[in-house]
């Protein structure tokens, strides 16, 4: 089962929810694997402190032009939708950072002057943290496109395992790539105007994709029911609420797991898991 944790707005607590949920499930004896798909800024390892066993480069195919065969006819340049190829007077230049790796230029070149070569965009590391399986992707600095790396991370979900997928913030391509294979999405929000506005955008996206989902309200304040009202209006299930507590912020700042460090929080995560299970079975 694949459970993705997403949010719309950044910094609402995706990594806190994902890592603590994974740890709780591990302690309960469930087979669990944590996969960090926030490959631009992966943070899960700072909390789970995994022992890394393997590291693999993630590559995408980009064009390699054989200048002895290229007549600079411009067919590939006209074909490329991403402007990754540019024709100068007598040669064609490749901008690999714009290439999506579709392979189109290789197919349309009348001279068969284009081959493909691998270009590294980042790497995938796998290991363990206690009983939890650990996978994360790290995008190389300066690389623009994260979805191909996210797809590599997601190739490592395990069957008969609870795969916890920590998604990046936002609502565009990287998030969609991260939740594509999810059976269930947990959206983490906070009861602020920014938090709820972005939750609305994330809900629009998830409903478009048609994946079952529920909400965790983080930094829940007594006397503030904005998030609860919002969820009622949008008719989405609240799975759990995590209180606004300076002790949580401080223990997070040091890289601690809040289910162990802050009293009363473990119960909130137990409740979260119970709610998710009920929703998935329904």
Partner 1 sequence: MKEIVIISGKGGTGKTSIAASFAALAKGKAVMADCDVDAADLHLILKPQIGLRSEFRSGHKALIRAQDCTGCGTCADVCRFGAVRDGTTWDTYPRVTYFIDPISCEGCGVCVRLCPAKAIDFAEEVCGEWFVSTTRFGSMVHAKLGIAAENSGKLVTLVRNEAKRLAQEQEAKYVLIDGSPGIGCPVIASLTSASLALIVTEPTVSGDHDLRRIAGLTKQLRVPAMVCVNKWDINVSATEKIKEFAQSQDIGFAGLVRYDKAVTQAQRKQETVTEFCSEGVAIDIQNIWDAVTKALAEYLIKTQNS
- CB nearer to partner 1: give 66 or 250: 250
Radius of gyration of the chain from Cα atoms?
22
- CB nearer to partner 1: give 101 or 127: 101
Return the SS3 of 252: helix
CB 206 within 8 A of CB 185: yes
Asked if residue 129 binds partner 1 (CB under 8 A), the reply is: no
Give the contact letters, 83-122, x = binds to partner 1 (CB under 8 A), - = no.
-----------------xxxxx--xx--------------
Q: How far is the CB of 117 from partner 1 (least distance, A)?
A: 15
The β-bridge relationship of strands 85-87 and 92-94 is: antiparallel
3-state SS string for 98-162 = HCCCCCHHHHHCCCCCEEEEEEEEEEEEEEEECCEEEEEEEECCCCCCCHHHHHHHHCCCCCCCE
- Considering only the C-alpha atoms of the chain, give the largest distance between any 2 of them, rounded to a whole number of Å: 73
Q: For residues 21 and 35, give the distance between their C-alpha atoms in angstroms, rounded to a whole number.
A: 12
Q: How far is the CB of 71 from partner 1 (least distance, A)?
A: 20
Asked if residue 169 binds partner 1 (CB under 8 A), the reply is: yes
The β-bridge relationship of strands 114-129 and 184-189 is: unpaired
Q: How far is the CB of 68 from partner 1 (least distance, A)?
A: 25
Asked if residue 254 binds partner 1 (CB under 8 A), the reply is: yes
Asked if residue 168 binds partner 1 (CB under 8 A), the reply is: yes
What residues from 217 to 246 belong to the interface with partner 1 (CB under 8 A)? Answer: 246
Reading the block at residue 94, the tokens are 């490749």
Q: Which window, 24-32, 128-136, 163-171, 267-275, contacts partner 1 (CB under 8 A)?
A: 163-171
Measure Cα distances from 5 to 116, 165, 172, 186, 192 in Å.
35, 6, 15, 5, 19
What residues from 7 to 36 belong to the interface with partner 1 (CB under 8 A)? Answer: 8-12, 15
- CB nearer to partner 1: give 9 or 152: 9
Q: Which window, 2-10, 65-73, 159-167, 229-237, contacts partner 1 (CB under 8 A)?
A: 2-10
DSSP conformational letter for 262: S
Site for partner 1, rule CB under 8 A: 8-12, 15, 38, 40-41, 43, 46-47, 79, 81-82, 100-104, 107-108, 139, 141-146, 168-174, 176, 180, 192-194, 197-198, 201, 204-205, 208-209, 246, 249-250, 252-255
């Amino acid at each position: 089962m694949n459970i993705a944790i997403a949010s719309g707005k950044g910094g609402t607590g995706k990594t806190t929810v994902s890592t603590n949920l994974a740890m709780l499930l591990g302690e309960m004896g469930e087979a669990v694997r944590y996969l960090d798909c926030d490959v631009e800024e992966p943070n899960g390892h700072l909390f789970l402190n995994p022992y890394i066993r393997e590291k693999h480069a993630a590559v995408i195919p980009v064009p390699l032009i054989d200048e002895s065969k290229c007549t600079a006819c411009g067919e590939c340049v006209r074909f490329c939708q991403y402007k990754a190829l540019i024709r100068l007077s007598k040669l064609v230049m490749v901008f690999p950072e714009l290439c999506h790796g579709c392979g189109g230029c290789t197919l349309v070149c009348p001279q068969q002057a284009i081959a493909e070569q691998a270009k590294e965009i980042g790497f995938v590391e796998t290991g363990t943290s206690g009983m939890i399986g650990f996978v994360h992707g790290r995008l190389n600095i300066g690389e623009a496109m994260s979805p191909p790396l996210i797809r590599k991370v997601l190739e490592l979900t395990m069957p008969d395992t609870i795969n916890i997928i920590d998604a990046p913030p936002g609502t565009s391509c990287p998030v969609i790539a991260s939740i594509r294979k999810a059976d269930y999405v947990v959206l983490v929000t906070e009861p602020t105007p920014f938090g709820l506005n972005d939750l609305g955008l994330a809900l629009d996206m998830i409903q478009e994709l048609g994946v079952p989902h529920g909400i965790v309200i983080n930094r829940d304040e007594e006397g503030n029911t904005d998030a609860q009202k919002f969820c009622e209006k949008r008719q989405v299930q609240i799975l759990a609420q995590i209180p606004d507590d300076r002790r949580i912020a401080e223990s997070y700042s040091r890289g601690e797991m809040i289910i162990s460090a802050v009293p009363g929080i473990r119960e909130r995560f137990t409740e979260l898991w119970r709610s998710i299970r009920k929703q998935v079975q329904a």
